[in-house]
Amino acid sequence: MTTTAPDVRSPAGILRMGNAFCDAKALLTAVELDLFGALHTGPATEEEIRGRLGLHGRGLSDFLHLLTALGLLAKQDGWFRNTAAADQYLVRDQPTYIGGFLLRSNRNLYPAWGRLSDALRTGAKQSGGDFADVTSNPVLLRQFIGMMDALTQQLGPSLIEAFAWPGYRSVLDVGGCRGNLVGQLVQAHPHLAGHVFDLPPMKPFFDEHMARSGQSATVTFHGGDFFECALPPAEVVMLGHVLHDWDTEQRGYLVRKAFDAISPGGALLVYDRMLDDGPNAVENLVISLDMLLVTDGGSEYPAQEIHAHARAAGFRSSTEQPLGDYDTLVVCHKD
Ligand SMILES: C[S@@+](CC[C@H](N)C(=O)[O-])C[C@H]1O[C@@H](n2cnc3c(N)ncnc32)[C@H](O)[C@@H]1O
């Protein structure tokens, strides 16, 4: 997938880019109001939508027409309906729902981006506390999990394809959240023993998720802090969207820790929105700035950094390949 950069060669183009946050906020608000859920059962008039969502009515016509112009709704004979993509990806409780990411963007990233200049002046994050604050609040934690599930739901099929899983018997997903990714891997390759290592408050969410997917017997949860505890052994260890939360030194530490947990002949898989000069530069630089705004030292990083950490840790070799639309996968092999 390529990112089309806005045309900024004219004043109108520059102003359009300056207002692009309005398009984004219209989408985030529609997800917050669950507009797409309200239209999932069928088309509705503006008045019906007003009633269903409990809205005032002022501005609603413009809001619905903006979403129509943006391609998220369609309008015919005075009736609004979801477009196919909105109906597939933005209706809550659908397995393909990606709104968990957008809900957290709306509540967390959107206000934080409003303080980007403060972050650039001070180097300090502008949102929330650390993971402990998120994990100690079940409401925040559920939102965060929804965001992670939205990402791993998209990435799972690519990761299943990208690696020679039949050659390995166990996989440990470090920072694997409630196991949404390992669950997909074990479903595709039932010979794998699946393990998740994450902070202890994730356990009830893991149990709930595995019970729902019928995988309680095949995927095991290990609770702990990866800066404090040894990792359980496995043939394959994954660090996905984890290293970008930390600074370079901490990333090197976690790669070494993974090395120690991997059995001889095993592999480390690292994926993140790594930085390069390719067509994904805009998308991944935006995520890197997200990390500036919500973590103490995190950022995206070039794949070269992981190759260097892997060499220093003792891995025999490492290779990189694109993963999904925006991620890069680095695979490090241990003798
Ligand atoms: C950004 S999420 C990544 C989730 C998932 N791997 C993915 O690909 O989207 C980072 C994960 O690391 C976990 N985590 C953060 N700090 C941790 C720590 N000190 N020890 C163990 N897990 C931690 C979080 O709870 C969260 O599930």
pLDDT at 4: 62
Residues in the chain, total: 335
Active site residue 307: no
pLDDT at 251: 98
Q: Which of 133, 151, 197, 199 best tests ligand 1's pocket when mutated (most atoms within 8 Å of CB)?
A: 199
CA-closest residue to ligand 1 atom 24: 175
For ligand 1, mutation pick of 131, 160, 184, 290 (most atoms within 8 Å of CB): 131
The ligand 1 atom nearest the CA atom of 155: 8
Q: Which residues of the chain have pLDDT under 70?
A: 1-5, 128-129, 279
Phi, psi (rounded to 5 degrees) for 304? -55, -35
- CA 258–ligand 1 middle distance (angstroms): 14
CB-defined site of ligand 1, < 6 Å: 131, 148, 151-152, 175-177, 181, 198-199, 202, 225-227, 240-242, 245
Domains of the chain (ranges; CATH) run 11-92 (1.10.10.10), 102-333 (3.40.50.150)
Q: Which of 195, 209, 244, 309 is catalytic?
A: 244
**pTM recorded for the entire structure:** 0.90
pLDDT one-digit tens code per residue, 177-222: 999 999 999 999 999 999 999 999 999 999 999 999 999 999 999 9
The half-sphere exposure of 35 on its side-chain side, counting CA atoms within 13 A, is 25
Nearest atom in ligand 1 to the alpha carbon of residue 225 is 20
**Residue 301 φ/ψ region, left for φ over 0, alpha for ψ in the -120 to 50 degree band, beta for the rest:** beta
What is the structure's pLDDT at 5? 63
The residue nearest atom 5 of ligand 1, judged by CA position, is 176
- Interval between CA 321 and ligand 1 midpoint (Å): 22
